[in-house]
Structure 1
Amino acid sequence: MTTLTTTRVKLTNSVLKGLSEQIRRVNDTELPGFHLRISERGKMTYYLFYRLHGKQVNFKLGSHPQITPAQAREMAKQKAGEVANGIDVQQARKAQRLQTERDKLTRLEAFIEQRYRPYQETRNPKTATKLIQQFYSGFPELLPLQLSDITAARIENWRNAKKKGGMKDATINSYVATLKAALNRAVDWDLIDHHDLQKVKPLKSDNTRVRYLEDDEEQRLREALRARDQRLKNERDSANKFRQQRGYPLKPPLYDYPYADHLEPIVLLAMNTGLRKSELLSLTWADVDIKRKHLTILPSNAKSGKTRHVPLNSHALNVFKGWAKHHAHQHYVFERAPGDKLQDVKKSWNKVLEEAQIENFRFHDLRHHFASQLAMRGVDLNTIRELLGHHSMEMTLRYAHLRPEKKTAAVDLL
């Protein structure tokens, strides 16, 4: 049996070359505690042995030939000096490694992807993707920074630049609020001690925009939708004649369909239910009860995260009944492919607005149109709040000015 031995000698390159295979440790004669260990596979590693506060430690300096014996000895002298001053260099190294790992995690982009995105996806998967995207679209220049380097002064400069660029105050406030919420979470998770974005006060903005259709605009919109529907049906008929002449298989004629495609029913439903676009496009037939004349918005599809029941008037019922004739077999009410819900109507919606000569009107304004019509017909604001699914009355109060007769009646009491 071979005996593995330890030897004492001044560590030099020539000594390392002449070591026998049985040597496993070489203690340096010049610097106490400095030594070399050799593994069974021949790997050579330099260490400094020291005692501090009753604790014995072997501090790894590096490996040969990455560093020479002379370089390792200089490193050992430096660390021995730190130990003599009461510093536990092993613990200091561990602390530095932890700080390095922490610094990697506390870069904004790393924090978002590794900690904040999973948290948001668990908390609210419906809005997580849109929320995370705000960091990339709003703060690309901040992504490489440490969280602790995102200061109030930096955000004030960012905000001023965005204002000069034409970004609306409400949009700026939304971006800053998103960033504040993320940094608050970083503090809660002990990744940073604090942040000072509370010094960045929201810009004063009037976010109570109410744009609804005037009577003539509504008429033009309905006429444009009908004209578009007829045009699509004519185009299908013309395409089928072309196919028939060439012996190609025909597509189903659209004249038997109440609606040529999804746009008109979606717009009419938005006008008569006040649903958000995302709520409409997430509807399944299981959510629609034509017999009992109501539909249900599930918590997973509601902005408030709460179930909401919306009654259906005769217009909405007729739309659902007409659409169901050819689409009731689908899972979603509006699908782009079997089992795959429709994602957006932006292109066709903008085109029909152009044809109707309606300007400064978003799809979301159909929701305002619904609420405004109710308010102007005397429906109380709390009922409007419940139909829209507003969490508080504050958002619904934007429609109060549409009922001036209530204020007139109040002062008339005097």
Structure 2
Amino acid sequence: MATIRKLRGRWQAQVRRRGMKPRCKSFDSKLEAEKWARELEAQVDRFGAAPDTRILESTTLSELLERYKTEVSPTKRGSVQEVQRIDVLKRHDIAYRTMVGLSPQDITSFRDERLRSVAPSTAVRELAILSHVIEVAIRDWGLPLAKNVVKLVRRPVIRNERSRRLTGNEEQRLLDGCDGGKILFFKTLLILAIETGMRRGEILGLRWTDISHNRRVITLTMTKNGSGRQVPLSQRAFDALMDWKNRAAVDQSIVFPMTAGALEQAWRRLLIRIDINGLRFHDLRHEGVSRLFERGLNVIEVSSISGHKELRMLKRYTHLSADDLVARLG
């Protein structure tokens, strides 16, 4: 057991274990001394010896975030978004804490602070990054931490399920509204999104060589979940793509040459132009997946088209029309 005593106005913690040199450290409070002693004893139990923790006293979370951004983030498909989130994390007070003093209470305070200004989903993503940074530091960089403190903190509950689908004549208004815009292929892009339920990134990354004309199939080599899949095209989607191909530039390899930011701007302008509210571009994926079910496809068939690996996630995107289900029941 550790010895905790008050010495010259400060609290001193001393840890003695057989086979190791005694370690002691002074703190401003008894609570900090006890915490340090418990963590050191846990490290002895884990590693069989007391590691040199002096590096924890000089290493800040910000330094780990920067190293992670340089060495780990570039290897990921979503590296751009992750780097942006890391830069945000580095601007918060928690980034300046040294690893020896980083506690679950610090993470909890950071979580609660972020929830006052961002959505729970954003806070969860930021906590996930912090957790993986510390995990990599322990496993790959040899940082002598006894535990990952982020894993001890409860994650916010995400309730962002949406049931928004196209109603009335909204689909026709969307397509007709594209005629008044400057992006020639925007109508084709929307038709493809509605007919296939493909993700925004998959649509924008599509190349003409990914489309098999004789099979009427799109081959996606890499998707969000880390694997590829094949997406069959309805006659409507195929005809729209071929019509755009006949009008596109001959040397154009990308089907829809625009960035994600440009798409969002064009989408917002379109909604304003046709006076539709509360509709997101991602809702077209909801619409597409729901229509696949309404056409009579089963869960396995729909998941092979949409790319969902979990039924739980597929259910979130699926909002069937009660009227259509009544008709099918007879």
Measured in 2, the distance between the counterparts of 1:370 and 1:170 equals 24
Q: Is the 8 A contact 2:197 2:306 kept in 1?
A: yes
- From the superposition, tell whether residues 372 and 407 of structure 1 become closer, same or farther in structure 2 (CA, over 3 Å): closer
Count of matched residue pairs? 274
Instruction: State whether residues 170 and 205 of structure 1, in contact with CA within 8 Å, keep that contact through their aligned partners in structure 2.
Output: yes
Cα separation, 1, equivalents of 2:160 and 2:61: 29
2:306 pairs with 1:388: yes
Residue deviations 1:227-251 (CA, integer Å, cap 9, x gap):
33xxx4xxxxxxxxxxxxxxxxxxx
1:7-406 map, 5 Å: 99=54, 106-122=59-75, 124=76, 126-138=77-89, 140-141=91-92, 142-165=94-117, 167-189=118-140, 190-193=142-145, 194-228=147-181, 232=182, 261-299=184-222, 302-325=223-246, 326-335=248-257, 344-399=262-317, 402=320
Q: Give CA-to-partner distance per residue, 1:343-370, whole Å, 9 cap, x none.
A: 6412111100111222222211111111
On the 8 A contact 1:217/1:356 being kept in 2, the answer is no
Give, as a single letter, the amino acid of the residue that structure 2 aligns with 1:320.
L
**Distance of 1:354 and 1:156 partners within structure 2:** 40
Contact 1:375–1:403 at 8 Å: present in 2 too? Answer: no
Question: For the structure 1 residues 312 and 177, does the alpha-carbon distance in structure 2 shift closer, same or farther, using more than 3 Å as the test?
Answer: same
Distance change >3 Å, CA 401–CA 367, structure 1 → 2 = closer
Q: CA deviation at 1:113?
A: 2.9
Q: Is the 8 A contact 1:281 1:333 kept in 2?
A: yes
TM (norm. structure 1) is 0.59
The alpha carbon displacement at 1:293 in A equals: 0.2
Task: Assess if the C-alpha contact under 8 Å between 1:263 and 1:349 holds in 2.
Answer: no
- For 1:284, give the aligned amino acid: R
Distance 1:400 1:328, change over 3 A: same
Q: 1:282 to 1:384 in 2, by over 3 A?
A: same
C-alpha distance in structure 2 between counterparts of 1:150 and 1:262, whole Å: 52
1:175 Cα shift?
1.8
SS in 2 for 1:327: coil
Which consecutive residues of structure 2, in runs of 5 or more, have no partner in the other structure? 1-50
Shift in Å, 1:174: 2.2
Structure 1 gaps of 5+ residues are 1-94, 233-259
- CA displacement at 1:405 relative to structure 2: 8.8
Higher relative contact order (CA 8 A, sep 6+): 2
**Identical columns (%):** 24
Aligned-pair Cα RMSD in Å: 3.0
How many angstroms apart in 2 are the aligned matches of 1:407 and 1:294? 28
Greater radius of gyration (CA): 1
Are 1:375 and 1:399, in contact at CA under 8 Å, matched by a contact in 2?
no
Helix, strand or coil at the partner of 1:215: coil
Partner AA of 2:106 in structure 1: R
